[in-house]
Structure 1
């Protein structure tokens, strides 16, 4: 079959007609390059291109220039001249191609592990490894140890050199503004903090302060970040949650760690909309009460209660709601219930309610009872849900032992205590090494304090917790990797709990209650002793348990920062969350037919990038319409977290909000609006197929070429009712999908970007068939004829609303 050379977006595809659809979609998503054309070679055409078929070369010469980027892997045999070199000589232009494999990434990104090479008149020269090339690519260090390799997002440091060719981290899209240092890998030991710090020291200072760590192994990222900051003697940025880790998405997105200091939340997202922000990562829960966003989840506390630095512990396998108060007033109680009800369903189903202080046990139990989901049958109130198998042991302190003088028990030690095996049908058997460690810990604890060990049962009470606020943070050191995550199971308590016992039993700091739909509200597990820890070992946490990824929360921005730790010179970090105000209802467009707005030619060139000044101008001009649009944007980002990798979060939200405003109220806007609109449309996925739009009756001739001066709305449903006297059936490969950004009833809407060239293929009495210029005419016309026949076969009512999918076409 003959090989065709056709245009797809800003690129050119070489393939056999009807083959290599994935190559076409990849080419359509590629970003344009100045003075260079991207050429994607499909599998079906590689043999013809490799032998420089004269017809293919002639067609390429007509479509490209003055230089080429060849998107195809290169594996020439020994002694054979590379394809890029031969093609450069034949066409007389520069050709850039990978030296080996080519990894195609989402959103039009590509990565060549062995690098791109440019062939021209002079000697071949390297051209980096990433396309598009981020500004930080040239600043990556070259002299890397064997355990560090380059991946699309930046660098990947591991403790071993075992190959992982199919690891999903290799498909993560890079951040265009800053590199990422991925630490560790699932199932492998975590690299030492010194090894990570040594890699960071190889970066230039201005790049190092922007580099973000993300933990990809089995240990808690907070520990490694704090340890690296102590080793580096400088601030370190850490992203909570790896880009491809299938766990719940924390409310805290990014934190800054400094030596011997508590972490400072730098980027975060609001748990729900409508909360008033009072400080960075802090919201008003009720009069006199605050809701803090922390790495573990959320913390509800009175304004008079100081946030304990000990609560800045690692992000766990499940979201947590901590309560730090002896009593919950009725307004606070109701506010917490409303807060939990507004959380996404999958996040709410795994939420843990935790007493952050010993006195909060009763309040937490009451809150859990109120939040209890309905069940088909009531079970015994003694059923509890915990993170590990079996029933958790507790340590009873003798009356003559001062709690403040005992040793601090870490979360790993608490998890390692001996447990009673659960029901074999649902319980994971306790590992032998874990039981051995638990017995050793129990013997050493009883020998040091005279305490005796019991099972979690009757006569449980809570003693006052020791104050930790005065303790200086200890520099974290390297520790052994934690155990793999365990399965949550249920055990019945041995006996009914008593309340307000005179003899207090010290238990762990956190009293956990799981809010699952399958269980009634369980009673609360009181804490084990919160005891001072030896400075030779850092605080450790439970291993991170992966769960199904939950929907991301809505995003909001802070007022000016006033309460952050001061940074040393050269290490200044400022919180940069994006402002998202509560939703404000906007007036719906009129249902009656509206006159077509007067269109003006767009002055925004293709590929325009919005500036901060333009985004600020657009936000001020749109007012409440922008506030309402951002609510849809944060929902879209929650459903599609991959969009967040497309660049700076502030620009992302503003540009997508502008797309929403244009889709709701299409018309003429100023240059700043259209610049943000063009940038926002480039972030959305493309649609390939037939779209429908209504238009006024006018003179159209077959073969005319129409160039859209502004974006044009259409609907990607062949049977959709559209307004107007004439139907436009358009074959498109670059239209941008709006599903998720608009309401469900408009989930099939698309936007054809400005500067899209449409060729008139056929004109009928009340229908015009068009296709994007450069599309294969026969294939496009076949699909358009089939769509026209399908519309003629059924009765499609006339759409009365002229606000959408309607407007005049530009002149030829």
Structure 2
């Protein structure tokens, strides 16, 4: 490839450069590469690229179209020229250049990963030194936060691979690990290898301990082999957060869709998993986050379909559970069965109606809907205490459908054969669950329960708000609603963030390019103030938010408040949300601290969700009419779009309460009171109360959808209360 022989043509927004015959050919990679605002992607085709400076002539010919920055993408089959060559090209063309220092692995979605230990993309501005930005492009939010090394971890395109202590020194990702799709909202952690023992709890925690808090809260654990299937459960229990998981390796299907493929102990690929993603709570059994569904059966909730009016089918990790539609949540033994790479289990728990013969006719209809790969490995399971008529029907169905007798499931979660149970009176165990202690009450099917991480609850005093007359003094007001930062505040924030400021600032610059409304400044405002304030917001959202809450609730000194001031100033710049938002609180305290008419101040940045999630039985819905809450979608990649943050020191009024009813949790109705209004007349509050009544009544008629917000929970400390649950001193209002 020589400069005089090069040609260039545009394929969409990608400039393809190379020899004339190479450029003329169809280039599928060019159509998959992402388009970036303010940066031109240049794809160099051919296998004889020796120096990036060879591209200077064709790029100069397109200078007016190329713009101030170029992304250099070599053919995936070649090793790119050295970074020093890219530096010379940047100086020659006087443009910013982004180039890799190793061979590229392209993804179906257009993402590009630089292969090799320590490999990276580099950014080179004309006349300056180059600096690395990591192996991923585009850069997912979690990549910005990953430390240089993670104990026992190997960088892979999807995130991290923990091969285990026996493979650490010689760990080289195989093709299946390299093909795992990356998740933009979650850090994917591939755990283990099929020929290795399970990665132990200590090794898992050592690796995760190296990750910053926002990344630890948003993990997707992929089990590479059956020995690793409990890794997500261990992490959820140890960290006190929800952990998302796959019972196998994610991969791209034949149609470009995401599938999860089970992996056997010998490394062979198993069947596609019916459930793509599970969510493991800190305690209890996992719930379905994403699944393929069952053709022709109406879905009642994620992971639950209706077989008949009285029979439901629920996805469990071992396969499917056929049960009565109104089965109580405590009947959860099938949910504890571990997945088996060799068998797809269908647990049939005969309800009182219909009769067994009719029931198993419906089971046959269900099994006909399963993919062929699941029918080949099918085993029918019935409870050990199933009566004789139902067991006879089960045997007939199982022999007809699988050629084998059904398995029996006892109350401890052990599976045994029919013959051994009849002969010995005690099952000879074929498969057992892990040591099952009496588990906590299971949440409603398909809905993960909210939880408070241990860090928020440890050390709380035993006193509660139920003690009459016990109130807490408000902490000192370190910031004000709608406070504006000063030049000195912003300088101290930049100094405190150091190199992290530049990382956040680049992301904020991209945000402002896509949301021009945020760039509108008041007459006495400055662009530099806008940038620094929004950097503070992004650092808050991706950082340890609990430490900010603790600082604002503290009655003692908290050090330099520059970050808090810039954060408050940044929050006020975001667009307002007017409408209903949701949060949850502990039921045993809500009735005491939220009497109708109470008006209270909340000293922290209160988080809520536009999307309603189903709380646990011991939680109460806080339903808030927002006028001053701020939309934070888009500020940080990987965070959900439906989050709202109220400015610190917002005032709220309790409009009324509702007791819990069958299937609907207790509710507290509130509204925020804008800072410029010290009171609102009774008619206004009554109109808002009527509006909330109408909106929530319509939504109570249907089940709230499962919320798979990665790492976020809309609960924690009680709004208007201190860390011990004691209400701040406030006034009782007559405005409701």
TM-score, normalised by the number of residues in structure 2: 0.50
Report how far residue 300 of structure 1 moved.
1.1
**C-alpha displacement at 1:40, in angstroms?**
1.2
1:83 pairs with 2:74: no
Distance 1:54 1:131, change over 3 A: closer
Aligned match of 1:301 = 323
Counterparts in 2 of 1:343 and 1:504: CA distance versus 1, 3 Å: same
SS at match of 2:307: strand
Change (3 A) 1:90 1:101: same
Is contact 2:240-2:454 (8 Å) kept?
Answer: no
**CA distance 1:148–1:53, change in 2 (3 Å):** closer
Matches within 5 A, 1:274-673: 274-277=297-300, 279-302=301-324, 303-304=326-327, 307-309=331-333, 311-317=335-341, 318-325=343-350, 328-359=355-386, 363=390, 366-367=393-394, 369-370=396-397, 384=404, 460=419, 462=421, 505-508=425-428, 564-569=448-453
Question: How far 1:127 moved relative to its partner?
Answer: 2.6
Of 224, 227, 242, the residue aligned with 1:219 is: 227
Task: Give a deviation string over 1:312-350, Cα, whole Å, max 9, x none.
Answer: 222222322111238854443332222122223333333
The answer as to whether partners of 1:15 and 1:44 remain within 8 angstroms in 2 is no
For 2:37 and 2:243, how far apart are their aligned partners in 1?
36
- In the alignment, is residue 14 of structure 1 matched against residue 14 of structure 2? no
**Would the aligned equivalents of 2:52 and 2:89 in 1 still touch at CA under 8 Å?**
no
Distance 1:156 1:115, change over 3 A: same
Q: Distance in 1 between matches of 2:220 and 2:63?
A: 43
Q: Deviations over 1:237-278 (max 9, x none)?
A: 22232114433233333333344523333333422233251x
SS in 1 for 2:277: strand
CA pair 365-316 structure 1, distance change in 2 beyond 3 A: farther
Whole-Å separation in 1 of the counterparts to 2:163 and 2:309: 48
> 2: CA distance between counterparts of 1:507 and 1:230?
31
Aligned partners of 1:256 and 1:266 also within 8 Å: yes
Aligned partner of 1:204 among 212, 225, 232: 212
Q: In the TM superposition, what is the alpha-carbon distance from 1:180 to its structure 2 partner?
A: 0.9
Q: CA offset at residue 29 of structure 1?
A: 0.8
Which of 188, 196, 199 is the matching residue for 1:191? 199
Matched, 1:249 2:272: yes
Q: Tell whether the 8 Å contact from 2:83 to 2:99 is kept in structure 1 after alignment.
A: no
CA deviation profile, 1:740-771 (whole Å, cap 9, x unmatched): xxxxxxxxxxxxxxxxxxxxxxxxxxxxxxxx
In structure 1, list runs of 5 or more residues that go unmatched. 375-380, 388-393, 395-402, 415-455, 464-502, 510-526, 540-558, 573-605, 609-649, 651-812
1:710-756 Cα shifts (integer Å, max 9, x gaps): xxxxxxxxxxxxxxxxxxxxxxxxxxxxxxxxxxxxxxxxxxxxxxx
Aligned ranges 1:26-175 → 2 under 5 Å: 26-44=29-47, 46-47=49-50, 50=52, 52=54, 55-59=57-61, 61=63, 63-72=65-74, 82-113=84-115, 114-121=119-126, 122-145=128-151, 147-159=152-164, 160-161=167-168, 162-175=170-183
C-alpha spacing 1:285/1:321, structure 2 compared with 1 (3 Å): same
Contact 1:97/1:117, CA 8 A, preserved across alignment:
yes
Higher strand share: 2
Q: The residue matched to 2:215 in structure 1 has which SS?
A: helix
State the 1:364 CA deviation: 5.8
- 1:19 Cα deviation from its structure 2 partner: 3.1
Could you say what secondary structure the match of 2:109 adopts?
helix
Distance 1:312 1:409 in 2: 7
**Could you list the per-position Cα deviations for residues 149-175 of structure 1 after superposition, in whole angstroms to 9, with x for gaps in the alignment?**
111111111112223254321132311
**SS of residue in 1 equivalent to 2:122:** strand
Residue 30 of structure 1 and its aligned partner are, at CA, apart by 0.7
Cα drift, residue 32 of structure 1: 0.5
CA distance 1:297–1:83, shift in 2 (3 Å): same
CA distance in 1, matches of 2:387, 2:157: 47
Return the alpha-carbon distance in structure 2 between the equivalents of residues 531 and 115 of structure 1: 43
SS at match of 1:286: coil
Per-residue deviation, 1:191? 1.7
Aligned partners of 1:37 and 1:240: how far apart in 2?
39
d(CA) in 1 for partners of 2:47, 2:373: 44
Unaligned runs of 5+ in 2: 252-260, 262-268, 457-512, 516-610, 612-736
Query: Which is greater in Rg?
Result: 1
Distance 1:190 1:83 in 2: 45
Go from structure 1 to structure 2 and tell me whether the alpha carbon gap of 1:189 and 1:285 turns closer, same or farther (over 3 Å shift). same
Whether the 8 Å contact between 2:360 and 2:397 is mirrored in structure 1 is: no
The equivalent residue for 2:28 is: 25
Distance 2:274 2:39 in 1: 42
Equivalent position to 1:238, from 209, 233, 245: 245
- Is contact 2:122–2:130 with CA below 8 Å preserved after alignment? yes
1:567 Cα deviation from its structure 2 partner: 1.1
Alpha carbons 2:14, 2:41 under 8 Å: kept = yes
Q: How many residues align?
A: 423
Aligned-partner SS, 1:108: coil
